[in-house]
A and B are shown apart, each in its own frame.
Chain A
Amino acid sequence: MAQQQSLVTAEMKAVIGKKGKSVVVDVEKGWVKRFCTSVGETNPLYLNEKVAKKSKYGGLIAPPGLLMGLYLVPELPRAPEPPVRLPRGVDGGGTWTFIRPIMVGDTLTGTGKIKDIYQRDGRAGPMLFSETEVTWRNQKRQVVARMVGRTIRY
């Protein structure tokens, strides 16, 4: 039997672990509102200043999902193109770790790197997985969240 071609090239191996560009986002009230509307949630901790002020946070917080919506930010690193044409690409999911509350009004800096690139051979043929890790810090340089997203090409 012919050996299955490896989709993981030397070029890909070389980018694993390297830091990419940083991206800066302002956690604006309007963005939080648009985000909550799109999810269909009305939690006053995210939307009602009076209620949020009396909470343990002392002010409006962003829903933990807000940064989860930044999966297509162009500054975040992407895996190099595979050596053969893989026409389909899907978002495979991910792991999100919430370390500190994100307050409305924060300025966050996300720094990404390619965490891993690997191949799995499934029913649909060879699949190329790439994992991007992004660490988000607030203006006090405290880490607020870490996220790993998985993209699958096949």
Chain B
Amino acid sequence: MAKQVYYEDVTEGMELPQLVKHPMPRQLVQWAGATGDYNEFHYNETFAKVRSNLPGIIVHGALVCQFVRQMVSDWVGDEGTLKKLNVSYRGMNFPEQDCICKGKVVKKQVQGDDHLVELEVWSENPKGEKTTPGTAVAILPSRAKK
């Protein structure tokens, strides 16, 4: 794990470390097994092209959402807590391609005992299209409270 980030380390506009995933079809099948999402256009190339009129099999939007969530979980670390995540599935990611998760701090504020950061988060496909734009709220530990 990377070293713990504290509220005091964060500035508005700061970017989160990117998380780059490269999902293979095997990973899509693992996701299907873990969640029960057996929609065939996620693992059957013929079905995706002929029945769903897609260029090929596509990554589950919900899995891309987990990649984005993992980026935030990794960043907030063991002492931080993810409180809220809101995403829209707008575009497609394809397997065997990079899925790049990015984020930046939009706002920081103290509310009661909580040191909150509001984030803009999203994933991109290799064309640079935002496929899963969203927002997140997390609580970070404070050095003052240590």
Contacts and interface: CB of A to CB of B under 8 A. Distances in A.
Tell whether A and B belong to one assembly.
yes
Interface of A: 31, 34-35, 37-41, 43-45, 55-56, 63-65, 68-73, 90-98, 101, 150
Nearest to A31: B34
Contacts of B78: 45, 55-56
Interface of B: 1, 21, 23, 27, 30-31, 33-37, 61-63, 65-67, 69-70, 73-74, 78-79, 81-89, 132, 134
Contacts of B132: 93
B84 A38 contact: no
A95 B84 contact: yes
Contacts of A73: 36
B134 A93 contact: yes
B37 A40 contact: no
Contacts of B69: 63-65, 68
A3 B81 CA distance: 49
Greatest chain B CB density within 10 A among A35, A65, A91, A96 is at: A65
Nearest to A36: B34
A94 to B, nearest CB: 7
Contacts of B23: 40
B41 to A, nearest CB: 11
Contacts of A91: 61-62, 89
B89 A93 contact: yes
A91 B85 CA distance: 16
Contacts of B31: 38-39, 69
